[in-house]
Amino acid sequence: MSESRLWLKQRLAEGSTAWFAGAQDALSALLVDQSAFDGVFTTGFGISASLLGQPDMELYTLSENLGVVDRIANVVRKPIFADADTGYGNVLNTQRTVRAFEKAGVAALSIEDQVSPKRCPAAATSSVTLSLADAVAKIHAAVDARRDPNLMIVARTDVMDPQEALDRTARYAEAGADLIQPISRTFSTYDDLVRLRRICGRPLSLQLMEGTWMATLSRPQIEAVAGMATYPIVGLLSVVHALRANLAALADRCGQPMGELPCPRATMNEFKQLIGWHELEKQQERLELGDASRRAH
């Protein structure tokens, strides 16, 4: 994964924007990897829902999050941007978190300044943030922990006051953060993002959530301020909508011909191609025939 880290760092150095789509498990990550997106974002919101069937309130542990990310890294080739939540504790926990995700092969990871356990600001009505000193110390710790300088550290602030967010992110940049990630509820205009980009002196990482004003920005606007732009949960919500609709329709016709369902499905052959079935069959045959040949001799 060192190549994907270098690719992402070089892209950011050129002033370009890398576009990511969210994935909550290895299968959704494989779909992103085979799409036109530049990379895979491992959404904590989606991982909590997929792994536990529970909301993103940091109920899952570092080990559980890392397990999903490790399985994703095993099947994708594109850069992985990992949601590392709050770093799962204090500065020492944050360092362990960074080293664990770096070892898994991610190209970038985000650390946010909420207290632990956090609550996802996309769903929660309010959140509690660390003191400025503690939050800056976490970014220092994250930067100090990485062994590969190409690993991108994204510092996210969840404070609601715009001026406080500007002050904090400037300090996070001074602490060594490579990108700054605001939340949509803190600012309200594109000009706010331009000002944030200028004050912190770092490219932004934008999370484009449906229903928020950031998601209405044009591509030129996004690429003028952001080094990384992400659609974190479109995949997750698409799966929920399609599966719910098809299950409801199927339940109404149990014991009858399946017929058409509200949402189209992939064919079995399409799925086998996606999952790499034929390649593994060939590999198994080659290995077994080779073993039989060796036994014969």
CB 234 within 8 A of CB 212: no
Among the listed residues 120, 200, 254, 263, the single catalytic one is 120
Q: Which of 81, 90, 136, 89 is nearest to 110 (CA)?
A: 81
CB 128 within 8 A of CB 115: yes
User: Is-catalytic flag, 200?
Assistant: no
Alpha-carbon distance 57 to 234, whole Å?
A: 19
Alpha-carbon distance 246 to 221, whole Å?
A: 38
Q: For residue 203, is the peptide bond before it cis, meaning its omega torsion is within 30 degrees of 0?
A: no
Alpha-carbon distance 125 to 138, whole Å?
A: 25
> In this structure, what is the dihedral angle of CA atoms 10, 13, 19, 24, given to the nearest 10 degrees?
70
Residues involved in catalysis: 120
